[in-house]
Amino acid sequence: MSGQRYATILLFGSPGAGKGTQGKILAELPGFFHVSSGSIFRSLDPQSEESKRISEYTSRGELAPDSLAIEIWEAWLEAQVAEGRYKPHEQILVLDGIPRNVEQCDLTERTIDVKLLLHLASGDQQTMIDRIKRRAELEGRTDDSSEDIIQRRFEVYRVESTPVLDHYPEDIVAEIDPMGTAAEVFARILAQIIPVQNAFLQAPAG
């Protein structure tokens, strides 16, 4: 690791809340670098030891072990810096999928400096499930095709992930309504990230 802590915005919410969609929109804006942990894991060589170990868990709707997930994520992120795709002095890191629990919050503390947590919060679980099923059909994502696995993912989220909201200071947590069109949701997000980006750009280079 480089030893540098990267200015970061976390996209957080239940399965199907639209984190990936909003992350992709943010990735198109100058000054942001979006990282989806799910995309990183799915891009692994299926024959690699890391991929096989992760699949043992994701096929059951469970999370990969924290140490394994963070190890793969850190290696991938540092490769992006080395190759010039991610420019930490010019871009805010937008994370979708990590950290997923308090243990991962502690493990990533050495790497990221969280400036804002965007919590896409909705009590309408059935709508979220329907979104996941539609996505599975469109993208051929077999890990999202079984309702039993989806329900298990929601249970894992409730038990392991929701405590993350209490881990970070209340003043950097922003509640975002994820219902409506992607543009409507993004407008709510934009109102929160503009002050963060302005402060980042005005800060002296570290």
Could you tell me the CATH number of the domain that includes residue 196?
A: 3.40.50.300
- Residue 10, classified by CB atoms within 10 Å of its CB into exposed (0-12), middle (13-18) or buried (19+), is buried
Considering its fold, how many domains does the chain have in total?
1
How far, in Å, CA of 22 to CA of 8, rounded?
15
| Residue 13 CB neighbours (<10 A) | 21
Using alpha carbons, select from 181, 132, 168 the residue that is nearest to residue 152: 132
Residue 72 lies in a domain: yes
| Residue 75 CB neighbours (<10 A) | 12
Residue 1 lies in a domain: no
- pLDDT given for residue 172 in this prediction: 97
- pLDDT given for residue 38 in this prediction: 77
How far, in Å, CA of 90 to CA of 151, rounded?
39
The residue segments making up the domain with residue 25 are 6-202
- pLDDT given for residue 128 in this prediction: 77
Residue 123 lies in a domain: yes
pLDDT profile of the chain (206 residues), mean per 10:
83 86 93 88 80 81 83 90 95 92 94 96 75 76 73 83 91 93 96 97 76
CA dihedral 148, 150, 151, 154 (to 10 degrees): 160
Q: Indicate the pTM of the whole model.
A: 0.81
Residue 20 lies in a domain: yes
Residue 169 lies in a domain: yes
